[in-house]
Structure 1
Amino acid sequence: MTIETKPPMPGAPIDIKDPNNDQEHMNRVWGAVNGELNNQASNNGPYHFVPIKILSAKSQVVAGMKHIYEVLVGESNCKKGEMQATELTQANCKLRDGANRAIYNLSVWERPWDNFTQYTAEKVRTVDAKETF
């Protein structure tokens, strides 16, 4: 039996292996959470969200690079009004005990030569407290 593998189609999204251990991808996810998700009107709770785990990641060549993530997020111990979303980091905002959690699709479109970054965030669903990943 012969299995033929083809290279990915040009411009098609490419799966990223182990994005949770890649600091560049974690930085992009933090940027999307801070730059978009924590500023959305739908995030009307008293706490800022922080990323918990990247569930899937893809990168795609467009007019620049587009990174597409499915991310588990949760409420942090950082309250809105006490800290701006742009100030949140892994070091100063941790997941709050008993935090509400959700899965979001986040995208980061980058054109470094134009100093351009655009974030989008779309809620997929709320995550039950007993659900594990």
Structure 2
Amino acid sequence: MSLKLSFAFTVLFVCVSIAQNGIPNDYLSAQFHKEKREALRAKMPNNSVAVFFSNPIRNRANDVDFIYHQDPDFYYLTGYKEPNSVLVIFSKNQTNKEGKSFNELLYVQEKNPRAEQWTGVRLGTEGAKKRVGF
């Protein structure tokens, strides 16, 4: 194998490794998305609930999916880019059994290392709390 060809393969390998390293960053802050949820909540009628669903994964062929694109409304309110998630916004604060007060819920997929090796890294519940600010 020529030196140029082996160099090209090395560069390609390094580029692919860097591109697949970690989860892509969001260019908008978690605070930006939180402010948008608060603005929506301020416009909601009393005792109402708004529910937003992420876009589903679209399948093109038996084992080939289209490139995933999050629902723009869902992304605008959450900054979350993964499928199979739901955002629930309450107009008034709610209280759970433990006495904790909340006014929004984000349901996300759990981390699953076995699935992630094929579909990519997931944030999971802890990652969503930390990175997206829920």
TM-score scaled to structure 1, two decimals? 0.22
TM-score scaled to structure 2, two decimals? 0.22
The structure whose residues are more often strand, as a share, is 1
The structure whose residues are more often helix, as a share, is 2
Larger radius of gyration: 2
